[in-house]
Amino acid sequence: MLRMAVPRNYTLSNGIQMPSVGLGTYRVRDQATLDTCVLEALRAGYRLIDTATVYRNEAAIGNSLKRIFEQNLVPGLTRQDIFLTSKLAVTDSLRNLQVDYIDLYLIHWPGTARLKLPDPQNAINRMESWRALEDLYHAKKLRAIGVSNYTLAHLAQLVERPHNSHATHHPSIQGSTTAAAAAAPLARTMVIPHVHQFEMHPRLFQKQLVDYCQHHRIQVQAYSSLGESRLVSLTPPPPPAMDSNYNTAPLPGALDIMPGLIRKYFAHVTSTASQLSEEEEKEEYPRRAAQILLRWGLQHGAIVIPKSTHPERIRNNFDLFSFAIDAQDMAALDAYSVEGERTRYCWDSTKVC
């Protein structure tokens, strides 16, 4: 479903309000850098912060938020105003972030460490992990729960499972089981994921997956909206060194349609000439391209979580509500994602059983 008007918050299927734009923090670990990023983001209007145990920055983010609250650096702001998302080990995250609850917790990956991708045990572990997450949700340690990097098949397996299963505690999700979770009843209401976070940009628009989520009232959250910066840079950076599931092959970058879109939607700040000047390419292209790509995600009903360590870019990435992309240009951007030619810049879970 295409949205021309984009809300500042989405209402999840359980009634929880979730901001439509958040701050991504992947690969940002330095305390001083995070202090600046988090403060600038909150001052700019962000209220959603996305992290994960595996990012190794939860404790630093917790320190940043504690400092902001105690020193009233954003006047009147409290913990209740912030929507925190994390992934992997709940007990560790609660301790690292120095909070009593987390707003959204996700299963980060459909596979299991040290298991081969085709191993059928992945599917069994995935279901047990979800049941453990449900227990913590019912124990009110988590306000909402979801998944990340699931394919349509993985998600359908979870959503369409028989609703007669029982609680199974899974240590990879819970860390050390809380007393409240341990006391949860064995049989309880099954929870459909509230959120699914996956890579989404014009070169990887999985319409079937998006439609499935919307049909089941699962909120889509897009990561890598800027294609690991390759979609917003005329000289894209080399891919980062990551694990074996991360795509580090040479990949296409900037979209050839983008200069025209920048002139159309930002005519008041860019040249009206047929080509962007060299100076405009250097200064305007990255930030305006980022705004268009993020707005594209919002208009497809997705929450976006752009990451930057530059205060000006952080502010710029939140300025997404002053324009709308028309239906013709949305279709032109969608057309970059052609079956068999889609580009995945991050993790590929398609071979996980």
DSSP-assigned states of every residue in 205-249: --HHHHHHHHHTTPEEEEE-TTTTTTTS-SSPPPPP---TTB--S
Evaluate whether residue 4 is within a structural domain.
no
Q: Among residues of the chain, what percentage have pLDDT more than 90?
A: 74
Assess whether pLDDT exceeds 80 at residue 268.
no
How buried is 195 (Cβ within 10 angstroms: 0-12 exposed, 13-18 middle, 19+ buried)? buried
Phi, psi of 246 (to 5 degrees): -95, 135
- Cα–Cα distance for residue pair 47/83, rounded to 1 Å: 6
Mean per-residue pLDDT, 32-38: 98
Evaluate whether residue 245 is within a structural domain.
no
Per-residue pLDDT reduced to its tens digit, 150-201: 999 999 999 987 654 444 444 455 453 344 444 444 444 589 999 999 999 9
Evaluate whether residue 349 is within a structural domain.
no
Higher-pLDDT residue of 120, 173: 120
pLDDT band of residue 99 (cuts 50, 70, 90) is very high
Q: What is the pLDDT of residue 110?
A: 95
pLDDT band of residue 279 (cuts 50, 70, 90) is low
Evaluate whether residue 347 is within a structural domain.
no
Evaluate whether residue 246 is within a structural domain.
no
By C-alpha distance, which of 256, 252, 150 is closest to 203?
Answer: 252
Contacts of 282 (CB under 8 A, 6+ apart): none
CA distances in angstroms from 106 to 51, 120, 326, listed in the order given: 10, 21, 33
Task: Give the three-state DSSP class for 309.
Answer: coil
Q: What is the pLDDT of residue 247?
A: 63
By C-alpha distance, which of 318, 151, 320, 303 is closest to 221?
Answer: 303
For the ranges 83-97, 148-162, 196-210, the maximum mean pLDDT occurs at 196-210
Assess whether pLDDT exceeds 80 at residue 269.
no
Q: What is the pLDDT of residue 43?
A: 98
Mean per-residue pLDDT, 215-244: 83
Cα 217 to chain centroid, rounded: 17
Q: Which residues are catalytic?
A: 55
Mean per-residue pLDDT, 323-332: 96
**Pairing outcome for strands 83-87 and 104-107:** parallel
Range(s) of the domain holding residue 121: 9-237+253-334
Phi, psi of 44 (to 5 degrees): -75, -15
Evaluate whether residue 48 is within a structural domain.
yes
Instruction: Name residue 84's beta-bridge partners.
Output: 49
Any idea which residue has 């006047």 for tokens? 75
CATH number at residue 225: 3.20.20.100
Evaluate whether residue 343 is within a structural domain.
no
Evaluate whether residue 1 is within a structural domain.
no
Mean per-residue pLDDT, 297-306: 98
Q: How many domains does the chain have?
A: 1
Average pLDDT, the chain: 88
- Cα–Cα distance for residue pair 261/318, rounded to 1 Å: 19
Higher-pLDDT residue of 157, 238: 157
- Cα–Cα distance for residue pair 116/133, rounded to 1 Å: 23
User: Does 166 carry a binding-site annotation?
Assistant: no
